[in-house]
Amino acid sequence: MGRKVFGRKKLELKKIAKDSSLQVTFSKRKSGIFNKACEISVMCGVDLLIVIFSPGGKPYIFGSPKVDAFLQNFLTGNPILQPFDPYTNRENSIDHLAAEYRMISLIFDKEKEYLNELNISLKDYGVVEYEGLNAHDLEVYLDNLKKLKENLISYFDFLTTN
């Protein structure tokens, strides 16, 4: 048989009687409220301050951008009014983030290619795990590493002189 689905059921709001449950619920809901406040501040371009008191009476404060600056502006009566056009700021930030993403993607792809070339180059020199090799194989491995070192030094000199 299928499960019965109730959909969005309206919960009855009443105070939680058990102290431990009350504290746990407060802790979970507090972070959700602060996250929503941060979203509203960013999306609407507003400064806000939220003060919540825990069941034990301890205050929790969230301010965007900063609590001290917000309180100073409020107490002095000098609010800093910043013109806000959500469409312009949003489009600019999206364009900026998209351009930054493209640039980082290109750098990542180039670094990935370089790493693949380096791995292929190291395999040509016989660079492998050295644990478990016998004395003769270690000698060959050491000679290959010396050749690799010489080639890297000459390549470095070439790069620094040009």
Q: What pLDDT, on a 0 to 100 scale, did the predictor assign at position 117?
A: 76
pLDDT digits (tens, 9 = 90+) for 9-68: 777 888 888 888 888 889 888 988 988 888 888 788 778 888 999 888 899 888 877 778
User: If you average pLDDT over every residue of the chain, what do you get?
Assistant: 79
CA 129, 133, 136, 139 torsion: positive or negative?
A: positive
Position 90 pLDDT exceeds 70: no
Q: Which CATH number does the domain housing residue 36 bear?
A: 3.40.1810.10
- Mean pLDDT, residues 108-116: 83
pLDDT digits (tens, 9 = 90+) for 127-161: 566 667 788 888 888 888 888 888 888 888 888 88
Question: E-strand spans in 21-102?
Answer: 48-53, 59-64
Domain-embedded: residue 3: no
* Both tokens assigned to 102: 């493209």
Tell me: do 155 and 102 sit in the same domain.
yes
Tell me: do 111 and 146 sit in the same domain.
yes
Phi and psi at 9, nearest 5°, equal: -95, 135
Instruction: Name the pLDDT band for 88 (thresholds 50, 70, 90).
Output: low
Identity of the amino acid at 33: I
Tell me: do 65 and 94 sit in the same domain.
no
- For residues 69, 71, 72, 77, the Cα torsion angle rounded to the nearest 10 degrees is 120
Q: Which helix (H) or strand (E) holds 63?
A: strand 59-64
**What's the domain count of the chain?**
2
pTM, to two decimals: 0.42
Tell me: do 141 and 97 sit in the same domain.
yes
What is the domain extent for residue 51?
A: 19-76
Cα angle for residues 21, 22, 25 (degrees, 5° grid): 85
